[in-house]
Structure 1
Amino acid sequence: MEEMTCPVTGCMIWSPIIKNEKFSRYLSDFRELNLLGKGAFGCAYKCQHKIDQNFYAIKMVPIGGLNKMSFETVIK
């Protein structure tokens, strides 16, 4: 599996070099259907759970978060 980045911030969401104990269940348990929205803190996707077939809205927040300047801009 290849590296995933947030389409809004460009921050890494997942990388194959991340150790297994930090592996996101999002990648193995859900099918991403479509983008619901995006903002300063990440993107929200409509997903379907592969086992229970229920639909969920999942927010993906970039690893590393925002720097101090970006955070202060967002809260204003």
Structure 2
Amino acid sequence: MLENITTRKEGFIITDSGIGLNYTSEMEKAMHQNHGIGYAEYERKLEKRLEVEKEREDSYRKSRRVVAEVERQVHR
């Protein structure tokens, strides 16, 4: 397991989990709305990352089925 490196800088604690995600406040908000966790937790916890990625994959597959069904109905 990667060892976290924590440093204190001007009153903030900065933790490096090893995967180095860069994200905007809009991305953080969307992550909370869609998955109920923030990027910091996503970055730290492998189980949460796997859960989120499985949800994303399931959502993608469902959307592809919907698109295929709509296209099938349009081309009758």
TM-score interval, smaller chain: under 0.3
Pick the structure with more strand per residue: 1
**Structure with the greater relative contact order (CA < 8 A, sep ≥ 6): 1 or 2?**
1
Q: Who wins on radius of gyration, i.e. which is larger? A: 2
